[in-house]
Structure 1
Amino acid sequence: MSKIDEERSAVQILIKQRIALVSRQWTARAARLFKTSGYTNAQRAPLYLLRDAPTGMTQTELATGLSLSEPTLSRRIARLLEDGLVSKHRLLGDGRANLIKLEPSGLQALHSSEATASRDRNLLFQGLSDEDLGVTLRVLNVLASRISGPVDIGGEPEGELASV
């Protein structure tokens, strides 16, 4: 392995470790941020998806959209149902499926928590240019698509990031 390859490998390892660390720290920060509202960031996530689905979503669609197992989502939905933020209805034509809809109180809870989240994001992203954010998003999108793809360590990676 050449010196350049070793340096690239070291940077890749640092990036992987940093993404994992930042993800855990962001989750912990969100927990502290929303502690007073009684909801975790994980409980707010279904509300975001439902906000953009005025006719509702099935639990399967929600689970897929959030990359969660259905049992995990069911526990989160149960809390949101209990608090009146969402409602559950049998899907017409398929009595086995449940349609989850955002209730007005859920939209209000999302709006008020989003104001807090927005202020926090502005603080965290302070000083980063639009270009910085664009490059970061492109890199994360490529990594996300590759992570969810097949594992093939024998092939050469595609040159999707050549312009980044």
Structure 2
Amino acid sequence: MSGDDDVDLLIDSWSDRLESVDLTPLDVMSRLRRAALALAEVRHDVFKEAGLGDGEFEVLAALRRIDPHGVGPTRLLALVTCDITTLKRRIARLLGRGLVNRESASDGARGTLITLTPTGRARVDSTMASLIAREREMLAPLSSDDMAGLERGLRQLLDGAEQSKKRRSALER
């Protein structure tokens, strides 16, 4: 591995100012943050190349993963990371571009179903394939053992973060 990177320099500068503080978490967390930012940039670029916003892709991908006969807005909301107002705006944009349809529920139930159009299905499939290819490029420097270890470590980190969040939430009650 090469010499010092930006994170090493960051830690060195903090260690001069906070001599009594163990800065070990910065080794991992600062690199994780930088990797997340790099991934977000890759994802944004792939979506932009496909003519989609990040949130639009999220809606199309959720629709593609679940019921091919469509889902109601409430179920779709549970699968995306936005509020109902934002979801409605995203659906309206996708409707206007012919990537989704809004249909009345066919089973006699009240409400509407959101479905992918053939164009929307093709767009999300090709975008997902491009995204996977770009993510594979990002991971190219890692061996399969490195990737397996990284995945295990990230699973543990995320599980620990979720448990910590639950503990803090319980204490606040």
TM-score, normalized by length of structure 1? 0.71
Cα distance, 1:150 vs structure 2: 1.4
Percentage identity across paired residues of the two chains: 25
3-state secondary structure, aligned to 1:131: helix
Q: Which has the higher helix share?
A: 2
Give the AA of the match of 2:154.
L
Q: Which has the higher strand share?
A: 1
Query: Structure 1 residues 57, 142: CA separation in 2 closer, same or farther (over 3 Å shift)?
Result: farther
Name the counterpart of 1:116.
Answer: 130
Tell me whether 1:106 sits opposite 2:120 in the alignment.
yes
Name the counterpart of 2:54.
Answer: 41
Q: Is contact 1:27–1:41 with CA below 8 Å preserved after alignment?
A: no
Q: How many residue pairs were aligned?
A: 147
Measure the CA separation in 2 of the matches of 1:128 and 1:137.
12
Name the counterpart of 2:10.
Answer: none
Name the counterpart of 1:86.
Answer: 100
Give the AA of the match of 1:128.
L
Name the counterpart of 1:152.
Answer: 168
Cα distance, 1:146 vs structure 2: 4.5
Alignment of 1:129-148 (within 5 A): 129-148=143-162
Name the counterpart of 1:62.
Answer: 76
TM-score, normalized by length of structure 2? 0.68
Name the counterpart of 1:158.
Answer: none
Name the counterpart of 1:161.
Answer: none
3-state secondary structure, aligned to 2:146: helix
The structure whose Rg is larger is: 2
Measure the CA separation in 2 of the matches of 1:108 and 1:39.
13
Instruction: List gaps (5 residues or longer) in structure 1.
Output: 1-5, 156-164
Measure the CA separation in 2 of the matches of 1:115 and 1:138.
24
